Amino acid sequence: MSKIKPSKGAPYARIMGVGGYRPTRIVPNEVILETIDSSDEWIRSRSGIATRHWASPEETVAAMSVEASGKAIADAGITPEQIDAVVVSTVSHFKQTPAIATEIADKIGAGKPAAFDISAGCAGFGYGLTLAKGMVVEGSAEHVLVIGVERLSDLTDLEDRATAFLFGDGAGAVVVGPAKEPQIGPTVWGSEGDKSDTIKQTVPWDDYRDGTVEKFPAITQEGQAVFRWAVFEMAKVAQQALDAAGISSEDLDVFIPHQANMRIIDSMVKTLKLPDSVTVARDIETTGNTSAASIPLAMERLLATGQAKSGDTALVIGFGAGLVYAATVVTLP
């Protein structure tokens, strides 16, 4: 018989607060058109994007994360000292080590929490949320700060007609803590590594370091392949998340998909047969694709504008490079 004492975690976990940060510079499609042969109409029709935010040199991954985290912690009604773990999802922190989570934890005044980074692309927020829920329920942390943050403007090839208009910068954060009833459903997540080449970094860092290539690495993708995968496969994953939570589309109040493409969002709404009463996040129009930050940023905006309210039931799903995905049903803070 084991001599190890059982963990004393909470029975359930919930999102207690949410915060976001969008860089001050707003970049319209006209700026993108300076380096690619396209049009505002084409960009809007293909992606739904009209503007995006690009960070200044001072708006670093850490700085944006600190701003978003402060709002989330305040919204949760706790102090930074009560944060027991910091989980950061990003692909645009350029130091291999140490994890940017450790710097963020120090800057927000969290004391000595567990702190680490994860790399799960546009599904990163869902991955971080799932890890946080596990920590709270298992008992290794009472309050977990989950951050999705990107400076994708640093990894954008402005001459690539397929991707130059897609990406934006920003940070979104949530605090996950204990709950007396289920408020974060089971996560449906996975990967399809056989399709990993459809979204990728153009060249490895060491090719650039060694002078094998002169052009700085950027993110590239096979747009049509990614679009087909997202449209046909991710609606299935979203439905599985609804089933796992024991609810139907009629029970939903809000749908917050990863803000990758407006046509993908609209297609998923149609396939899932979501009622007109369901509020759908379409933050991509003014924010672009911010990868791991897109879901918490969209969540914060819906709550701030009154399009969604505390206690609403929301389906969230992220999907992207890997190819990876994660979907779950949550109660909004």
pLDDT in tens, 302-330: 999 999 999 999 999 999 999 999 999 99
**pLDDT band at residue 116, thresholds of 50, 70 and 90?**
very high
Residue 283 pLDDT greater than 90, yes or no: yes
Residue 211: its pLDDT value, please? 83
Task: Assess contact for 76 and 47: CB atoms under 8 A.
Answer: no
User: For 80-117, b where at least 16 C-beta lie within 10 A, e where not — what string?
Assistant: bebbbbbbbbbbbbeeeeebbbbbbbbebebeebbbbb
End-to-end CA distance of the chain: 41
The model's pLDDT over 28-43, given as tens digits with 9 standing for 90+, comes to 999 999 999 999 999 9
**pLDDT band at residue 210, thresholds of 50, 70 and 90?**
confident
Residues annotated as part of the active site: 122, 258, 289
Residue 27: its pLDDT value, please? 98
Count CB atoms within 10 A of the CB of residue 58: 9
Q: How far apart are CA 199 and CA 267, in angstroms?
A: 21
Task: Give the DSSP per-residue string, 320-333.
Answer: ETTTEEEEEEEE--
Residue 161: its pLDDT value, please? 92
Q: Report the amino acid identity of residue 176.
A: V
- Percentage of the chain surpassing pLDDT 70? 100
The model's pLDDT over 164-201, given as tens digits with 9 standing for 90+, comes to 999 999 999 999 999 999 999 999 999 999 999 999 98
